[in-house]
Structure 1
């Protein structure tokens, strides 16, 4: 497994996920982190974006998932995002965290998140 990691942190996306109807109708902001375990040696040698994960394109696809079809659980959302990351050429393992900072909790808190790791 590669020791190289490409990280995308704090991707902000407005989505309509949640268990409660108010979450699905009003929506809220989600923050996404992704760590992609992939060899960067070829890209470093060629200096060509075609030889690595184009994180701008990946971010676009991740935004489409989060802004798209609503799900009840952020666990489900994290699973979909990890599967998307593993579709990238050369990615051996993906760790995805979905943060839900405005979760409907009646107590003061700073964040709720789910982190999953998946591999090929």
Structure 2
């Protein structure tokens, strides 16, 4: 096989992105964050070999991003954590449960973070790959 022509699962050459997924969660260090909750925004970029799905025009051979969105929202709305780093890891774990995903980049935005100065956004971005 030629080195410049990737082949097979896990090449990382194809990406499926779900950006700007808005959901409510109760994550944070402070009691009022856990009590009152706040909005979070999630971006995920999945590395998936999309060729099998494209060849057969078959949803079963790719990632159903609507169902993935449901699972991601459930994590954000679920058990509170103190750090968005922890939340990002939990979201990455959900993405990597998908058998066709070889790698994921997760960004968690916390636009209502308790900061005393004007700011646009706070984010944590992680990359994880299947072992």
TM-score bracket, normalised by the shorter chain, equals: over 0.9
Residue equivalent to 2:7: none
Gaps in structure 1 of 5+ consecutive residues? none
Gaps in structure 2 of 5+ consecutive residues? 1-10
Q: Deviations over 1:89-119 (max 9, x none)?
A: 2111000000000000000000000000000
CA RMSD in angstroms, aligned pairs only: 0.5
TM-score by length of 1: 0.99
TM-score by length of 2: 0.90
Kindly report structure 1 stretches of 4+ aligned residues shifted beyond 6 Å.
Answer: none
Residue equivalent to 2:113: 103
The number of aligned residues is: 120
Could you tell me whether the CA contact under 8 Å between 2:12 and 2:103 is conserved in 1? no
Residue equivalent to 1:85: 95
The Cα of 1:31 is off from its aligned counterpart by: 0.1
Q: Deviations over 1:13-70 (max 9, x none)?
A: 0000000000000000000000000100000011111110000000000000000000
The Cα of 1:2 is off from its aligned counterpart by: 2.5
Residue equivalent to 1:38: 48
Larger radius of gyration: 2
Residue equivalent to 1:24: 34
